[in-house]
């Protein structure tokens, strides 16, 4: 059974939504079990290619990132928290979270940056990462408080 480009696009979009909502790996639709299921459920449909998934996720990321920047642009006062920790494999991560009160007086907290922190945890490097995040979201002059765990490197 052949699919029109429009029908294939609709099915690919539903598959990509499944990947996002269920936190599935990109290549799930190319695995033999999934291919067998798809050929029984929707004969002729093979699922999106890894490249299609990658392009869609990249586009979606840019859209959500811009919406988040627009949301933060409307905020006058923001507090941030920053923390560094390591997982079981000894990989270190730096997480910066923004906290603010929205127009309905509800507390909002969202991650501004979450990245693996390689190398020594010098205050200069932590500061550089925090400044980059603040600049990326145009938050300069809006931050009223910063909270950390008072580590020696902060």
Q: Residue 116: beta bridge partners?
A: 93
Q: Does residue 131 contact residue 123 with C-beta atoms inside 8 Å? A: no
CA–CA distance, 61 with 76 (Å, rounded to integer): 25
Task: Note the pLDDT tens digit of each residue in 125-139.
Answer: 888 999 999 999 999
DSSP state of 72: H
How far apart, in Å, are the Cα atoms of 73 and each of 12, 79, 111, 137? 34, 14, 15, 8
Residue 43: phi and psi, rounded to 5, are -50, 130
Structure-block tokens of residue 66? 């811009």
Q: What is the structure's pLDDT at 19? A: 86
Q: Which CATH class is domain 74-147?
A: alpha beta
Q: Which of 129, 127, 73 is nearest to 100 (CA)?
A: 73
Kind and range of the H or E element at 107? strand 107-116
- Which residue stretches of 3-152 are H helix? 5-21, 32-41, 50-73, 123-136
Q: Does residue 100 contact residue 80 with C-beta atoms inside 8 Å? A: no
Rank 2-16, 17-31, 64-78, 86-100 by mean pLDDT and report only the highest: 64-78
Task: Note the pLDDT tens digit of each residue in 29-81.
Answer: 888 998 898 889 888 888 888 888 889 989 999 999 999 999 999 999 999 99
Q: What is the structure's pLDDT at 45? A: 87
Q: Residue 39: beta bridge partners?
A: none
Residue 86: phi and psi, rounded to 5, are -125, 150
């Amino acid at each position: 059974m052949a699919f029109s480009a429009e029908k294939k696009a609709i099915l690919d979009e539903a598959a990509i939504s499944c990947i996002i909502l269920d936190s599935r790996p990109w290549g799930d639709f190319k695995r033999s079990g999934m291919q067998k299921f798809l050929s029984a459920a929707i004969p002729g449909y093979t699922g999106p290619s890894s490249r299609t998934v990658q392009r869609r996720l990249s586009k979606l990321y840019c859209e959500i990132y811009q919406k988040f920047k627009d949301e933060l642009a409307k905020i006058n006062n923001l507090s941030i928290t920053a923390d560094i920790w390591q997982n079981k494999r000894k990989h270190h991560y730096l997480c910066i979270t923004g906290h603010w009160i929205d127009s309905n007086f509800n507390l909002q907290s969202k991650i501004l940056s979450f990245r693996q922190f390689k190398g020594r945890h010098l205050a200069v490097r932590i500061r550089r990462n925090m400044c980059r995040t603040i600049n990326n979201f145009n938050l300069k002059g809006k931050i009223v408080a910063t909270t950390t765990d008072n580590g020696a490197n902060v």
